[in-house]
């Protein structure tokens, strides 16, 4: 893809929504998380995590998603991604964002993944989000939600 049609922004993701409101067609927000989805590659990390980690990360994850939603244009899409299967870091964050705003809609992330997969059926969809699993998909336990800002 030509470089003039995309750009990478560096900085604090919590600021992009106020610094560049409604400036982007697509925003990928890959939030920091507990990393519980990568246990197959780093099994020792299970001993480094506590329930407090989830509580500490939640406000940051919500702030990053909020900023991304402010930065996307009407009709644009935010991809919320994390390498955790824990509902506190995945569906709860997305549900909170959808509940607070009436100009958002959740797209079917499972169907989107199916449409670009080699087999055509990853079976990762669940309630319009997608959750990949190590034992099924031979990958980390990655989560994806696609949120469109209504035009």
**Residue whose pair of structure tokens reads 């750009």 in the numeric block:** 7
Helices 51-71 and 91-100, axial angle in degrees (round to 10): 40
Catalytic residue, candidates 83, 113, 132, 145: 83
- 33 part of the active site: no
Phi, psi of 69 (to 5 degrees): -65, -35
113 within 8 A of 122, measured Cβ to Cβ: yes
C-alpha distances out from residue 71 to 24, 34, 45, 95, 121, Å = 6, 25, 34, 19, 32
Distance CA 150, CA 33 (A): 28
Which residues are the active-site residues? 83
């Amino acid at each position: 893809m030509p470089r003039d049609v995309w750009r990478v922004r560096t900085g604090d993701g919590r600021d992009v929504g106020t610094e560049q409101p409604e400036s982007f067609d697509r925003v990928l927000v890959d939030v920091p998380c507990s990393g519980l989805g990568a246990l197959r590659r780093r099994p020792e990390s299970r001993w480094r995590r506590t329930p407090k980690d989830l509580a500490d990360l939640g406000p940051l994850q919500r702030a990053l998603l909020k900023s991304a939603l402010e930065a996307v244009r009407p009709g644009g899409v935010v991809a919320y991604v994390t390498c955790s299967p824990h509902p506190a870091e995945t569906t709860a964050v997305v549900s909170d964002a959808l509940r607070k705003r009436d100009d958002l809609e959740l797209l079917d992330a499972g169907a989107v993944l199916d449409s670009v997969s080699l087999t055509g059926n990853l079976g990762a969809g669940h309630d319009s989000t997608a959750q990949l699993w190590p034992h099924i998909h031979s990958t980390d336990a990655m989560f994806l939600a696609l949120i469109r800002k209504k035009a």
